[in-house]
Amino acid sequence: MTLIKSISGIRGTIGGTTNDNLTPIDAVKFAASYGTWLKDYAGKEKLTVVIGRDARLSGEMIQNLVVSTLVGLGIDVVDLGLSTTPTVEIAVPLEKADGGIILTASHNPKQWNALKLLNERGEFLDAKQGAIILELAEKEDFNFAEVDNLGEIIKNDSYIDIHIDEVLELPLVDKEVIKKAGFKVVVDGVNSTGGIAIPKLLEELGVEVIKLYCEPTGHFPHNPEPLKEHLGDICKMVVEEEADFGIVVDPDVDRLAFISNDGEMFGEEYTLVACADYVLGKTKGNTVSNLSSSRALRDITEKHGGTYEAAAVGEVNVVTKMKANNAIIGGEGNGGIIYPESHYGRDSLVGTALFLMLMAEKGGTVAELRASYPSYFMSKKKIQLTPELDVDALLEAMHNKYKNEQVSTIDGVKIDFAENWVHLRKSNTEPIIRIYTEAKSQQEADGLANRIIEEIKEVAGLE
Please state the three-class secondary structure of the chain as a single string. Answer: CCEEEECCEEEEECCCCCCCCCCHHHHHHHHHHHHHHHHHHHCCCCCEEEEEECCCCCHHHHHHHHHHHHHHCCCEEEEEEECCHHHHHHHHHHCCCCEEEEECCCCCCCCEEEEEEECCCCCECCHHHHHHHHHHHHHCCCCCCCHHHCCCEEECCCHHHHHHHHHHCCCCCCHHHHHHHCCEEEEECCCCCHHHHHHHHHHHCCCEEEEECCCCCCCCCCCCCCCHHHCHHHHHHHHHCCCCEEEEECCCCCCEEEECCCCCECCHHHHHHHHHHHHHHHCCCEEEEECCCCCHHHHHHHHCCCCEEEECCCHHHHHHHHHHCCEEEEEECCCEEEECCCECCCCHHHHHHHHHHHHHHHCCCHHHHHHCCCCCEEEEEEEECCCCCCHHHHHHHHHHHCCCCEEECCCCEEEECCCCEEEEEECCCCCEEEEEEEECCHHHHHHHHHHHHHHHHHHHCCC
Catalytic member of 8, 33, 83, 106: 106
Burial class (CB in 10 A: 0-12, 13-18, 19+), 65: buried
- Residue 374: CB atoms within 10 A of its CB come to 15
Q: Reply yes or no on whether 106 is catalytic.
A: yes
CA distance from start to end of the chain = 23
Name the residues annotated as catalytic.
106
